[in-house]
Structure 1
Amino acid sequence: MVGTRQLNVSAGDETPCTEDQFLGSALKITQPKDGFRAGSDAVLLGAAVDAKAGETLLDVGAGVGTAGLCALHRIPDCQLWGIELQPELAALARLNAEKNGFAEQTSIIEADIGMRASFAGEVGPKKKPFLEAGFDHVFTNPPFYGKGRARVAKSDIKTLAHIEGSVALPEWLLFCVARAKSKGTVTVIHRADRLGDILAVLQKGCGRLKVIPLWPAQDQSAKRVIVQGIKGDKGPLELTRGLVLHEKDGRPTAVANTIAREGAALKSVM
């Protein structure tokens, strides 16, 4: 994220928003001033999507669309679908796709992944019913905290984005695996202390799993991990060397800066 300016734009009629610049000002993202706010996790998730031109992408829990739009900025001619539960965030995701020039490539679905009926009438690639379609790449930044594991925020938007609701992490990830086509990728960014839970689910449907630690600084333990697997593959798990995000003085490392400001793919800098 580069900069922020106040806007006279609202998510619905009551939520004030700001416009934030990502990828060296290449993307301008409108998001709520308070509550849920996309940042470096969304950029890193978008950078981890290992897609080719013309492939289909699905962002589960899309928020205001930041991760998917970061991926579209880097990879030409892809089609992006996003699923978002909260109407305010879904509306902002559509707005962000439009003002960044990706409206024709983007479909934002307002639905609850725990309720199949909420996808009635929605379509995916090749105009198939959404829950019967397969995507080349599925990626997600699930709520980070289980029920009772974090304080409820003043903002309902932030609470729903950060604390698991009716869909716990295992069910969330199973939904993601189910949406990927055979040999498609599933990519997750989450807290490092949930790695065991993530692997327990993804290993059931994916192989050739890569675990990418994200260290805040060289002398600190990883706080985040990216896990990526290939649906239906039988290859072994790989623990990669990971990514250090900040120097000792707090400045972004050169590698992190290349992702955050230039929109580089994660695999190109590792």
Structure 2
Amino acid sequence: MTIDHSGGSVRDASSYTEDHFLGNALHITQPRDGFRAGSDAVLLAAMISARAGESLLDVGCGVGTAGFCALNRLPDCRLWGIELQSELATLARLNAENNGFAEQARFVEADIGERASFRSETGPGDKAFLEAGFDHVFTNPPFYGKGRARVAKTETKTLAHIEGSVALPEWLQFCVARAKSKGTVTVIHRADRLGDILSVLQKGCGRLRIVPLWPEAGQSAKRVIVQGIKGDKSPLELTRGLVLHEKDGSPTAAATAIARKGATLQSVM
């Protein structure tokens, strides 16, 4: 593992692990303690369908895992990521280089609640970032509102899991604003926040697809993926969803196809 200390934004190499995703296709460096990407990032990426040359934007990208899972299947697309935390943005750039995506991926260190933090950044077509439109915007926002979860042992994990100055509705409004007309907006979140998600996405998107993610057959969904098309007027669809584990705790065949082979959600549901 190679850690560049020149920017002063990463710690000693022993503070990080190298984790493998998509059957060892991706090698992701991330903090040993604090926020760590996992199955949610892989499932989010599995919902993205794109054509060659289209643009992808991961809002709150962390170390870049979801975007790289998408690029692994969509090598002719370009990826942008937005990340508030300097350490994670630095690791995302490192991961892009180590996985062969340096020419396709660009990571912006910015606060989505502060327009000024995007002043010098550009998006597709070299347009000013906040004026550019992206073909596919996706996000795994902080799961908990202020005061609804205990502060974590590390600031990195706290910022990733608990909403800061930007609450979920404003976060999703930012995502919708970044999508071009007829572009997709995709979010993975806790199932009990579905009402909050729909209240925002229904104002700017149509053809909404709700994908319940069940831990096991017969159990309530704990996660959902919601995807909409900006400016579309088609009705909402509640899909069959995905069962993640068998009764013995082992992954289902469908979940394994996504996690190990990079299959899309559409292909296994």
CA distance, structure 2, for counterparts of residue 124 and residue 70 of structure 1:
20
Q: Aligned runs of 1:155-194 on 2, under 5 Å?
A: 155-194=154-193
Q: Aligned runs of 1:1-270 on 2, under 5 Å?
A: 9=3, 12-13=10-11, 16-270=15-269
Q: Secondary structure at the match of 1:103?
A: coil
Work out the number of aligned pairs and report it: 264
Task: Measure how far apart 1:214 and its partner are.
Answer: 0.1
Q: Secondary structure at the match of 1:137?
A: strand
Check whether the contact 1:173–1:198 (CA below 8 A) recurs between aligned residues: yes
CA distance, structure 1, for counterparts of residue 242 and residue 248 of structure 2:
17
CA distance, structure 1, for counterparts of residue 2 and residue 248 of structure 2:
36
Q: Secondary structure at the match of 1:104?
A: coil
Task: Measure how far apart 1:8 and its partner are.
Answer: 7.6
CA distance, structure 2, for counterparts of residue 72 and residue 192 of structure 1:
27
Task: Measure how far apart 1:268 and its partner are.
Answer: 1.2
CA distance, structure 2, for counterparts of residue 200 and residue 257 of structure 1:
32
CA distance, structure 1, for counterparts of residue 97 and residue 258 of structure 2:
23
CA distance, structure 1, for counterparts of residue 16 and residue 82 of structure 2:
21
Q: Report Cα offsets for 1:72-119 as digits up to 9, x if no partner.
A: 000121000000000000000001111000010000000000000000
CA distance, structure 2, for counterparts of residue 183 and residue 217 of structure 1:
34
Q: Report Cα offsets for 1:228-269 as digits up to 9, x if no partner.
A: 000000000000000000000110000000000000111111
Q: Secondary structure at the match of 2:103?
A: helix
Task: Measure how far apart 1:202 and its partner are.
Answer: 0.2
Check whether the contact 1:64–1:92 (CA below 8 A) recurs between aligned residues: yes
Letter in 2 for 1:187: T
CA shift in 2, pair 1:142/1:132, >3 Å: same
CA distance, structure 2, for counterparts of residue 159 and residue 147 of structure 1:
10
Cα root mean square deviation, aligned:
1.1
CA distance, structure 2, for counterparts of residue 201 and residue 103 of structure 1:
34
Percent identity between matched residues is 78
User: Structure 1: any 5+ residue segments left out of the alignment?
Assistant: 1-6
CA distance, structure 2, for counterparts of residue 172 and residue 156 of structure 1:
20
User: Structure 2: any 5+ residue segments left out of the alignment?
Assistant: none
CA distance, structure 2, for counterparts of residue 231 and residue 88 of structure 1:
32
CA distance, structure 2, for counterparts of residue 103 and residue 40 of structure 1:
23
CA shift in 2, pair 1:207/1:17, >3 Å: same
Letter in 1 for 2:215: P
Check whether the contact 1:8–1:17 (CA below 8 A) recurs between aligned residues: no
CA distance, structure 2, for counterparts of residue 222 and residue 13 of structure 1:
37
Letter in 2 for 1:28: H
Check whether the contact 1:54–1:76 (CA below 8 A) recurs between aligned residues: no
Q: Report Cα offsets for 1:141-171 as digits up to 9, x if no partner.
A: 0000000000000100000000000000000
CA distance, structure 2, for counterparts of residue 210 and residue 195 of structure 1:
12
Check whether the contact 1:81–1:106 (CA below 8 A) recurs between aligned residues: yes
CA distance, structure 2, for counterparts of residue 104 and residue 8 of structure 1:
19
Q: Secondary structure at the match of 1:176?
A: helix
Letter in 1 for 2:10: G
CA distance, structure 1, for counterparts of residue 78 and residue 243 of structure 2:
31
